[in-house]
Structure 1
Amino acid sequence: MSGDTQAITADSLLNFSLHDSPGHLLRRCQQLAVDLYTMEVGANGLTPRQFALLLAVYQKAGISQVDLVRQTGIDRSTVAEMVARLIKRGLLVRQRTENDRRTNALAITAEGERQLRLAQPGVMRSQERLISPIPVNRRAEFIAMLQQLIEQLEQNP
């Protein structure tokens, strides 16, 4: 047995607590965040990732798909699929950039902006419900710690 395998014994598994496991807790929080989002925005509204993509494009018209991946944290192949579907639904448009004909610039359509504006009140309610258990005076610290986790893990996977 290797040293790593020897450390995992039946007793250590009995003592392992999912309730103290950061990965498990973050996954549970994500599940609850999506549930709250869906309750507030509605099952027929934009999904959280669609909202993130459309918002990023709205805030930075002409953004490339590569920059959209960086901005949202959604993987490249998923962004490509989502962009294609959002274009098909008439929420985004894509055109080649003049500087680099291999790069696509994305822009939101009037309908895409309308969908964003329809979803925004529900998104804001879901965010408020999500953070409501955190004392008001600790919320900025909590958000900063989440941002720190993301930044550090992206730099050092």
Structure 2
Amino acid sequence: MADQRLYFLLQRAAHQLRVAADRRCMGAAGITTAQLGALFVVQEQPGVTQQELAHALGQRESAITSMVTRLVDAGLISKRTHPKQYRAIALDLTTSGKQALERVRPVIQDFNEQMRAAIGADAFDATAQALARLDRWFATPETS
């Protein structure tokens, strides 16, 4: 029975987790989890392009364009001309973006610890590994 409901359970759990995490991130730093993901990518890859950001987050470029506009307007990232790609824009974290990440980091760590406690450390690690395998599986051209 569980295998017939796995997709439904994943969808429901993902929604509930996203809502709970968004509330916490908004309270701590005024950002959503989607924006947090973008800020983490920009932090890890200074000068990343919007196209690269879209790929890293598994999103369409049109969605990323809107998100980047909101993050620039909020003063969390900045845009500059890309040094090597004529038409590309490079993205960088601002001081405010770095501060937002510092404020939200302990909130996310606490949230992860609460999830780990709820399902057990072994199940948490196994679930994370299984979801990473599913993500890689769907990232391959044969399954897309």
TM bin (shorter chain): 0.7 to 0.9
Report SS of the residue matched to 1:61.
Answer: coil
Which of 26, 33, 36 is the equivalent residue of 2:17?
33
Aligned to 2:74: 89
Q: Check conservation: 1:33, 1:126, Cα contact below 8 A.
A: no
Partners of 2:122 and 2:130 in 1: CA distance: 14
Shift of 1:65: 1.1
Amino acid at match of 1:127: N
Q: Say which structure, 1 or 2, has more relative contact order (CA 8 Å, 6+ apart).
A: 1
Aligned to 1:101: 86
Give the TM-score normalised by structure 1.
Answer: 0.80
- Count of aligned pairs: 141
Percent identical among aligned pairs is 21
Partners of 2:102 and 2:23 in 1: CA distance: 17
Task: Name structure 1 gaps, 5 residues minimum.
Answer: 1-16
Q: Check conservation: 1:18, 1:24, Cα contact below 8 A.
A: no
Partners of 2:95 and 2:130 in 1: CA distance: 36
Which of 60, 64, 79 is the equivalent residue of 2:49?
64
Give the TM-score normalised by structure 2.
Answer: 0.86
The CA deviation string for residues 38-96 of structure 1, in whole angstroms up to 9 with x for no partner, is: 34334572100010001110111111111111212232211110001111111111112
Partners of 1:75 and 1:25 in 2: CA distance: 25
Superposition RMSD in Å: 2.1
